[in-house]
Structure formats: C-alpha cells, structure tokens
Amino acid sequence: MDYNATTPMEPEVIQVISEALLEAWGNPSSNHLAGAMAKAIINQSRQNVARMVGGKAEDIVFTSGGTEANNLVLHTAMEHFKKTCSAAEHGGGVQNGCTGLPHIITSNVEHDSIALTAKHLQTVGKADVTCVPVSKVTARLDVEDIIAAVRPNTCLISVMLANNETGVIMPIQEICQRVKSLNKQHERLRILLHTDAAQALGKIPVDVQELGVDYLTIVGHKFYAPRVGALYVNGPGTKTPLYPMLFGGGQESNFRPGTENTPMIAGLGKAAELVTANLSTYQSHMLNIKMYLEERLRDVFRDKIRFNSHYPGSDILPNTCNVSILGPALQGWRVLSNCRRLLASVGAACHSASGNRPSHILLSCGVPAEVAANALRLSVGRETSKEDVDAVVEDLRETVQLLEKMN
C-alpha cells in the first residue's frame, strides 16, 4: 500500500517497452527506417501524453522525470525575469517589478524538488521565495493567501495539484483565474503558473485548459509507467517561455537536448493512453477500496485511530489514507518495521531515511506532533482488493498488539 511512492508498470506498458527495445533501437534523429520508426513511436507517445492532460502534442517536453521538469520550470522563471527586465531596460523604460530579485511563491507542503530548488535559489541570493502555509483546518491553500503574497517582482507561482502525504487537492484553477486577472494589468511583470501534478495523474481528471496553468509536471512512475517524465508547457517558447538547462543536439525542440530514450517514452505514452481510456474505472475502484480500508481500521482500532487525511471542506485523492494509531510505542516507523505483510511509508518515500521524525507536511497541516509521529501513509492502487485490505488490517492489529505488550 505504497502506490503514492511508486507503481508497478502495467503489463501493456512493459510490452510496448520490450517491443521498442527490440525493434525501435534506431536514433530518432537518423534519416533511415530504424530512426523513422523510433521517431514515430515518440510522436505517438507525445500525442498520448498530451491527450491525457488536455494539451497539444507540441506542448509536451519529455524529461528524465518530475525532478528535472520542476527544476526546468524554476530555471525558466529566473531566466524569464532576467530577460524581461533586461529588454525593458534596453528599450528605454523600466518594467514594473524589475527592482530587486525575482520573487517565487510556493506552498509549505511542496515536494522537495520544488521546495529545495527554491530554497537553494534563495540561499545563493538569486531569488526571494515566499512559502505560503496551508490552513491547519483544511490542509489546503487559501487562494487569498496566495494573492496577498504577490509582489510587483513575483515571476512564478508553483503549487502542487495534490499533496503526496495527505491527498489534499489544491485550488489550482481558482489561483490561476485570480493571477491571470493580475497579469492583465498594464506594464505588470507576467506571473508564470505551474503545478506539479505527480500525485493527481491517473487518480483524478487533470485538464490543463480547465486548470489554466502555464506548466504542468508529469511523472510516469506514479501512473504505472516507467521512471521518466514530461513537462506540459502552454506553447513552449511562443505563448509561454521555456529556457533549456542543457545544451546539445537539439532534441525536444532544443528545450531538452539528448538522444531520446525511445523505449521509456513509448512506455509513458502507453500508460497515458490507459489513463485516458480508464480513469473513471481506476478512480472509483481506488475510492471504494480506500473507504473499505478506513471502515476496517475504524472497526479494529476504534478510538485509537486518527485519520490525517480527513479535512473539512477539502477534496482528497481517491487512493490516499494517512492514519495514525495512537499509543506511546506506535510510531509509524516502528509499526512498519514490525509488520510482516504491509509495505507502506510514514510519509514521502524520499524522506524515509529520516522516518523516525514526524512529517513536516503533517505538522504544517495542524496534526499534533505525537499524532504525526505515529502516521502511516497507506495508498491503494488499481489492483488492491478487499482481501488485501483485510490482510493489512490484520497485520496491523497483530503488530500493534505485539508493540503494546513489549512496551
């Protein structure tokens, strides 16, 4: 029950990867049959990924994964600020907002590939960063708090679409609507809008037109694809700025050079196609299983259970159940290390090395420290069954009994 950390590849995804490894080995830039076959597969995958998020094929830039895509957005925002201000200065006027450092707004519950990149830019004196806190009641961002944080030199707002620990879905559409109104102001520096959709894709509908974002991060291994990713950009280099971090052979329209990883891109395209075709089935199955899991946990643990993924007025991912079993010896890491069958995390998998500390995400959402220390992030998948839930709950019951006796 650790599907928010990663997912296995679907059999159909493995099949297209295997076929591409065998048959599409040519360099996609080569002008011969083997190269043309590889290029055709990449083009088809680009269309599939674009369709999954409601964009156009030319809006998709393939990357090594979500971390690269997120870094590319922050890098672009810095370059855009610098170039816009330089052009205004050389044009004889001063663009409103060009005094001081570029300003980035994000939340205090972002993935480290946004949070640490922004922190690094601030530490080295390249940017000012505002981390807007989520509500301790709803675990959600308040749109008014984001708007209140905007300055004349704000160049980027980056907020995740759904949180990987609590499952809370953020008000991206509302943020984008408000910011676009600000962007229409005369002489105002354009604020770029980005959302990291890693945890949302394959679980809830994601449409870039409805959201209104300039950039959206796509992470394959969260929706049964291989460990590659993509960045949606609304008209890269035309409507929306995009500046490469790497320079080389000109692939991906010069935005992300390097010979394309054809088999993994093929796998990403097939997984995207499956999401487009089956999302409602995936969503309803995961929601039913999660509800059954929560019901069984309540039945067994009664008043010792605390759900850290239940917030009034907030929509939650259909597969995410963050729960604490209350008791002095029942810290999340201790429970998981004694379970015989349950495979899960105490929070974000990339923080598991420090798993004996309460999640800063849960603390930011108003969860008391002693409750956060006992947290288990249980995330169900497409194939999770009620029998799996029964096995997990029984495993937890036995483990809790054992730890309480030892204590």
What residues are annotated to the active site? 350
Helices (H), 189-261: 208-211
Do 20 and 41 contact (CB within 8 A), yes or no? Answer: yes
**Percentage helix, strand, coil, to 5, in the chain?**
45, 15, 40
- 218-247 CB burial, b ≥16 within 10 A, e <16: bbbbbbbbbbbbbbbbbebeeebbbebeee
**168, burial (CB in 10 Å: exposed 0-12, middle 13-18, buried 19+):** buried
Q: How many angstroms separate the CA atoms of 136 and 25, rounded?
A: 52
208 phi/psi in degrees, rounded to 5: -65, -30
Are 376 and 384 a contacting pair, CB within 8 Å?
A: no
229-233 vs 128-132, strand pairing mode: unpaired
**DSSP labels for 307-371?**
ETT--TT--B-TTEEEEEE-STT--HHHHHHH-SS---BSS-GGGGGGTTS--HHHHHTT--HHH
Residue tagged 């796998």 (tokens): 267
Give the C-alpha distances (Å, rounded to integers) separating 184 from 107, 180, 362: 24, 6, 37
Tell me the pairing of strands 154-158 and 192-196: parallel
Q: What is the largest CA-CA distance in the chain?
A: 76
262-301 vs 11-23: helix axis angle to the nearest 10? 160
Give the DSSP letter string of 345-358: BSS-GGGGGGTTS-
